[in-house]
Amino acid sequence: MFADVSGSSALYKNLGNQEAKALVDNAVSFMASSTIVREGTVVKTIGDEIMARFDSANSACEAAIAIQQRSSREFAYIGLGIRIGIAFGDTVVTPNDAFGDTVNDAAYVAHIARANQIVLTQGVVDQLNRTLVQQCQLFDRINIKGENHKTTIYRLAWEVAGQQDFSTKVMPMQEVSRFVDNFQLVLTYGEQTIALLPAQTPFAIGRDANKADLFFDEELCSREHCHIEFRRGKYVLIDHSTNGTYVCAENKTPIYLRREETTLQGCGVISIGQRTDLKTLSLIHYSH
């Protein structure tokens, strides 16, 4: 686990060096104490960040939740927050440090996390008890540094600990079918209906039958026209084409994209290369 104080630079400017350092040191101290109380080991501190290891993923997440809860009570009013990243796996441990892919993965997802967030790798979620799993939300699919394939990462929703609102909570991918209606993207084109899950992205649309997941045989469609990916809990359409892509959400003004991107939320239509109001045009309908 890496836990990093966010917002300290502004604090030094606003409060001055001595007062700001005292507050940051206090934050680092309680991050360390929360780790120790939950049977973790503080490997080292790096400026306003701590690196810690635990014998179980559950203990690491419980410590992370405790850190965020205390931070929200004591530091939110001055603009300080904590970013936390956790990974699970084998490490090489020395008296003063730890090494290996797991350490690198934890540091990487900590960097992705924003203030007041806890971001977990798939390996962590696979180890959690049911209560903690129910607090995990799909966050993104990314290439972790050094890997060629995409992996799913999750946000641990510490703010809603103990609630049982399954409309916003997501189980690990191996249990995803139980909750598929909450986060699948359904595409309809002609007689084809495609139900996309995050693990099936990126999803390519284009005129190259060898590369496209959805083959679109229209003159204005580029060979690799656009693709859909899952990012930060949302489906995003990214255009790469010559003629552009029109996206019109229900009851919204159509958006024209050319080498740009937009999120796909609710219901709407995607038009390849032409406006969405042309009645003769084949449209891709989406719903999420």
- Tens-level pLDDT at each residue, the chain (288 residues): 999 998 888 888 888 888 888 888 989 999 999 999 899 999 999 889 999 999 999 999 999 999 999 999 888 888 889 999 999 999 999 988 999 999 999 999 999 999 999 999 999 999 999 999 989 988 888 887 666 677 889 999 998 654 444 334 444 444 444 445 556 889 999 888 998 877 788 899 999 988 999 998 888 999 999 999 988 778 999 999 999 999 999 989 999 999 999 999 899 999 998 887 766 567 999 998
Q: What is the pLDDT of residue 161?
A: 52
Q: Is the pTM of this model over 0.75?
A: no
Does domain 184-287 fall under CATH 2.60.200.20? My reply is yes
CA distance 63 to 119: 13
The CA-based angle 147-150-195, given to 5 degrees, is 165
Q: What residue spans of 5-97 are helical by DSSP H?
A: 8-15, 17-37, 57-74
Nearest to 283 by CA among 205, 208, 230: 205
- 202 cis-preceded (ω within 30 degrees of 0): yes
Buried b (16+ CB within 10 A) or exposed e, 194-207: bebebeebebbbbb
Buried b (16+ CB within 10 A) or exposed e, 133-159: bbbbbbbbbbebeeeeebbbbbbbbbe
Residue span(s) of the chain under CATH 3.30.70.1230 come to 2-177
- Contacts of 193 by beta carbon, 8 Å cutoff, 6+ apart: 186, 187
CA distance 250 to 199: 26
CA distance 43 to 103: 11
**Rounded to 5 degrees, what are φ and ψ at 259?**
60, 35
Instruction: Identify the residue whose tokens are 């999420």.
Output: 288
Q: What is the pLDDT of residue 43?
A: 94
Q: What is the pLDDT of residue 176?
A: 44
Residue span(s) of the chain under CATH 2.60.200.20 come to 184-287
Burial classification of residue 170, based on how many CB atoms lie within 10 Å of its CB (0-12 exposed, 13-18 middle, 19 or more buried): buried
- Which whole-number Å values give the CA distances from 29 to 33, 110, 196, 212, 273, in the listed order? 6, 19, 44, 52, 57
Q: What is the pLDDT of residue 178?
A: 42
Assign domain 2-177 to its CATH superfamily.
Nucleotide cyclase, GGDEF domain (3.30.70.1230)
Q: What is the pLDDT of residue 281?
A: 66
Amino acid at 254: P
